[in-house]
Amino acid sequence: MKIGIYPGSFDPVTNGHLDIIERATKLCDKVIVAVSCNPNKNPLFTLEERVQLIKEVIKPYSNIEVDTFTGLLVDYAKEKKASMLIRGLRAVSDFEYEFQMALMNRKLNPEVETIFLMTSSKNSYLSSSLVKEVARLGGCIEGLVPEVIKKAITDKL
């Protein structure tokens, strides 16, 4: 079974994330959306809320699991018997950081490959941080996140 892990903070999950998740389901028998617990970030949603929101929006897919992890991603991948890490790229600016991480992950565990998926052009400017900033300032986030996420952001703010 080909297992792929799509890691991230997903605070909140956006339509850009969902684009990558959907496309990853075509490459893998199973996709694990792995929500990271990063103590250096100040998330809007708790870890549990992020997991629940992702579970809500991935209901149409039968080959997706949502989980959380801490520590090294390659250790988590080994634990889950995953052979690939899936990373989304929006622009060239994402590539330098992601390339560096992919090389480090390969050094730590050469059996796990990193697969880069370019987001669709309609989502290339989209980030969780930008969605939260626009929402905090009273802007419209329609079409940037699924409706259930939009409601959760509105309720939280």
Query: Per the residue annotation, which of 30, 90, 132, 150 is the catalytic one?
Result: 90
128 is in an annotated binding site: yes
Q: Cα 55 from chain centroid?
A: 12
C-alpha dist (Å) from residue 22 to 29, 45, 62, 155:
12, 23, 11, 27
73 is in an annotated binding site: yes
38 is in an annotated binding site: no
Spatial neighbors of 91 by CB under 8 A, at least 6 apart, are 124
Q: Based on the residue annotation, tell me whether 62 is a catalytic residue of this protein.
A: no
Distance CA(75)–CA(56), nearest Å, equals: 27
Q: Based on the residue annotation, tell me whether 90 is a catalytic residue of this protein.
A: yes
23 is in an annotated binding site: no
Q: Based on the residue annotation, tell me whether 132 is a catalytic residue of this protein.
A: no
Q: Based on the residue annotation, tell me whether 80 is a catalytic residue of this protein.
A: no
9 is in an annotated binding site: yes
71 is in an annotated binding site: no
The length of the chain in residues reads: 157
Query: Per the residue annotation, which of 41, 55, 136, 156 is the catalytic one?
Result: 41
Which residues are catalytic, by number?
A: 17, 41, 90, 128
Annotated binding site for ATP: 9-10, 17, 88-90, 98, 123-129
